[in-house]
Chain A
Amino acid sequence: MRPKVEVKNVTKVFGKSPKNAIKLLEEGYSKKEILEKTGSTIGVNGASFEIYPGEIFVVMGLSGSGKSTLIRMLNRLIDPTKGEILIDDTDIVKMSAQQLRDVRRNKISMVFQNFALFPHKTVLENTEHGLVLRNVPANERREKAMQSLAIVGLKGYENQYPSQLSGGMQQRVGLARALASDTDILLMDEAFSALDPLIRKDMQDELLELQETMKKTIIFITHDLDEALRIGDRIALMKDGSVIQIGSPEEIMMNPADKYVERFVEDVDLSKVLQASHVLKRAERMTPDRGPRVALQIMKAQGYSSIFIVDRKQKLLGALTADDASIAVKENKSVEEVMEKNLVTVLEDTLLTDVIEALSNSAFPVAVVDQENRLKGVIIRGAVIGALAGNKDDLNMKEVD
Chain B
Amino acid sequence: MGLPQIPLADWVDTAVKWIVTNFQGFFSGISAVTDGFIDSLVKVLELGPPLVLIVLITLLALYTSRWSVGLFTLIGLLLIENLGLWDATVNTLALVLSSVIITILIGIPIGIWASQSDKVRQVVTPILDFMQTMPGFVYLIPAILFFGIGVVPGIIASVIFAVPPTIRLTNLGIREVPEDLIEASNAFGSTTSQRLFTLQLPLAAPTILAGVNQSIMLALSMVVIASLVGAPGLGAEVYRAVTQVQVGEGFVAGLAIVIIAIILDRISQNLRKPAYSNLIPKRFAYSIVAILVIGALIAVSVGGGQAEKASPSKVGEQVDYEIIGIDPGAGLMKSTEKAMNDYGLKGDWTLVEGSSAAMTAELQKAYDRKEPIIITGWTPHWMFTKYKLKYLEDPKGSFGKGESIHTIVKKGLDEENPGAYKILDQFYWEPKDMEEVMGDIQEGMKPEEAAEKWVKSHPDEVKKWTEGTQKGNGEKVSLVYVSWESEIASTNVIAAALKNEGYDVTLKQVEAGPMFTGVANGSADALVAAWLPTTHQDYINEYKDQIVDLGPNLKGTKLGLTVPEYMPIDSIEDLKK
A276 to B243 alpha-carbon distance, docked (Å):
98
Q: Is the CB of B189 within 8 A of A101?
A: yes
- Interfacial chain B residues near A120, Cβ < 8 Å: 202-203
- Interfacial chain A residues near B188, Cβ < 8 Å: 104-105, 109-110, 129-130, 133, 177, 181
**Closest B residue by C-beta to A187:** B187
Contact sample, A vs B, 21 pairs, CB 8 Å cutoff: A72-B183, A75-B187, A77-B183, A77-B186, A77-B187, A101-B191, A102-B189, A104-B189, A110-B187, A110-B188, A116-B180, A117-B184, A118-B181, A118-B198, A118-B203, A119-B203, A129-B188, A130-B189, A132-B198, A133-B189, A133-B194
- Interfacial chain B residues near A118, Cβ < 8 Å: 181, 184, 198-199, 203
- Binary contact readout A172-212 vs B (1 if CB under 8 angstroms, 0 otherwise): 00000100010000010000000000000000000000000
- Interfacial chain A residues near B178, Cβ < 8 Å: 116
Q: How far is the CB of B132 from chain A (nearest CB, A)?
A: 30
Decide yes or no whether A112 CB sits under 8 A from chain B: yes
- Interfacial chain A residues near B184, Cβ < 8 Å: 110, 112, 116-118
Give how many B residues have a beta carbon under 8 Å from the other chain's beta carbons.
17
A25 to B404 alpha-carbon distance, docked (Å):
90
* With A120-B202, A132-B198, A133-B194 as contacts: A112 and B189 at CB distance below 8 Å: no
Decide yes or no whether A114 CB sits under 8 A from chain B: yes
- Interfacial chain B residues near A101, Cβ < 8 Å: 189-191
**Closest B residue by C-beta to A76:** B186
Decide yes or no whether A134 CB sits under 8 A from chain B: yes
Which of A81-120 touch B at CB < 8 Å? Answer: 100-106, 109-110, 112-114, 116-120
Which of B149-202 touch A at CB < 8 Å? Answer: 178, 180-181, 183-191, 194, 198-199, 202
- Binary contact readout A109-148 vs B (1 if CB under 8 angstroms, 0 otherwise): 1101110111110000000011011100000000000000
- Interfacial chain B residues near A133, Cβ < 8 Å: 188-191, 194, 198
**Closest B residue by C-beta to A125:** B198
Q: Is the CB of B183 within 8 A of A112?
A: yes
A110 to B199 alpha-carbon distance, docked (Å):
17
Q: How far is the CB of B199 from chain A (nearest CB, A)?
A: 6
Q: Is the CB of A105 within 8 A of B189?
A: yes
Q: Is the CB of A129 within 8 A of B198?
A: yes
Q: How far is the CB of B198 from chain A (nearest CB, A)?
A: 7
**Closest A residue by C-beta to B203:** A120
Q: How far is the CB of A96 from chain B (nearest CB, A)?
A: 13
A130 to B184 alpha-carbon distance, docked (Å):
10
Q: Is the CB of B187 within 8 A of A104?
A: yes
A109 to B184 alpha-carbon distance, docked (Å):
9
Q: How far is the CB of A78 from chain B (nearest CB, A)?
A: 10
A133 to B189 alpha-carbon distance, docked (Å):
7
Q: Is the CB of B191 within 8 A of A116?
A: no
Q: How far is the CB of B92 from chain A (nearest CB, A)?
A: 36
**Closest B residue by C-beta to A131:** B188
Which of B26-60 touch A at CB < 8 Å? Answer: none
A267 to B183 alpha-carbon distance, docked (Å):
33
Q: Is the CB of A104 within 8 A of B186?
A: yes
- Interfacial chain A residues near B189, Cβ < 8 Å: 100-106, 130, 133-134
Q: How far is the CB of B189 from chain A (nearest CB, A)?
A: 3
- Interfacial chain B residues near A75, Cβ < 8 Å: 187
- Interfacial chain B residues near A177, Cβ < 8 Å: 188
**Closest A residue by C-beta to B194:** A133
A187 to B180 alpha-carbon distance, docked (Å):
14
A11 to B73 alpha-carbon distance, docked (Å):
64
- Interfacial chain A residues near B202, Cβ < 8 Å: 120
- Binary contact readout A310-346 vs B (1 if CB under 8 angstroms, 0 otherwise): 0000000000000000000000000000000000000
A246 to B506 alpha-carbon distance, docked (Å):
88
- Interfacial chain B residues near A113, Cβ < 8 Å: 180
- Interfacial chain B residues near A106, Cβ < 8 Å: 189
A112 to B182 alpha-carbon distance, docked (Å):
12
- Report which residue of B180, B181, B185, B187 has the largest number of chain A beta carbons within 10 angstroms of its beta carbon: B187
Which of A266-296 touch B at CB < 8 Å? Answer: none
Which of B179-238 touch A at CB < 8 Å? Answer: 180-181, 183-191, 194, 198-199, 202-203
- Interfacial chain B residues near A102, Cβ < 8 Å: 189
Checking B180, B187, B191, B203 against A114 with a beta-carbon cut-off of 8 angstroms, the contacting residue is: B180
Q: How far is the CB of B504 from chain A (nearest CB, A)?
A: 63
- Binary contact readout B121-155 vs A (1 if CB under 8 angstroms, 0 otherwise): 00000000000000000000000000000000000
- Interfacial chain B residues near A119, Cβ < 8 Å: 203
Known: A101-B191, A187-B187. 7 other contacts (CB 8 A): A103-B189, A104-B187, A112-B180, A118-B181, A120-B202, A129-B198, A134-B189
Q: How far is the CB of A79 from chain B (nearest CB, A)?
A: 12
**Closest A residue by C-beta to B184:** A116
Q: Is the CB of B198 within 8 A of A116?
A: no
A176 to B194 alpha-carbon distance, docked (Å):
21
A105 to B191 alpha-carbon distance, docked (Å):
11
- Interfacial chain B residues near A181, Cβ < 8 Å: 188
A129 to B185 alpha-carbon distance, docked (Å):
8
- Interfacial chain B residues near A117, Cβ < 8 Å: 184
Q: Is the CB of B183 within 8 A of A116?
A: yes
A203 to B203 alpha-carbon distance, docked (Å):
30
Q: How far is the CB of B195 from chain A (nearest CB, A)?
A: 9
Q: How far is the CB of B131 from chain A (nearest CB, A)?
A: 32
- Interfacial chain A residues near B194, Cβ < 8 Å: 133
A101 to B189 alpha-carbon distance, docked (Å):
5
- Binary contact readout B497-513 vs A (1 if CB under 8 angstroms, 0 otherwise): 00000000000000000
Q: How far is the CB of B182 from chain A (nearest CB, A)?
A: 9
A126 to B178 alpha-carbon distance, docked (Å):
16
**Closest B residue by C-beta to A75:** B187
A132 to B191 alpha-carbon distance, docked (Å):
12
Q: How far is the CB of B391 from chain A (nearest CB, A)?
A: 67
- Interfacial chain B residues near A105, Cβ < 8 Å: 188-189
A30 to B134 alpha-carbon distance, docked (Å):
53
- Interfacial chain B residues near A104, Cβ < 8 Å: 186-189
Q: How far is the CB of B249 from chain A (nearest CB, A)?
A: 49
- Interfacial chain A residues near B183, Cβ < 8 Å: 72, 77, 112, 116
Q: How far is the CB of A95 from chain B (nearest CB, A)?
A: 12
A18 to B163 alpha-carbon distance, docked (Å):
40
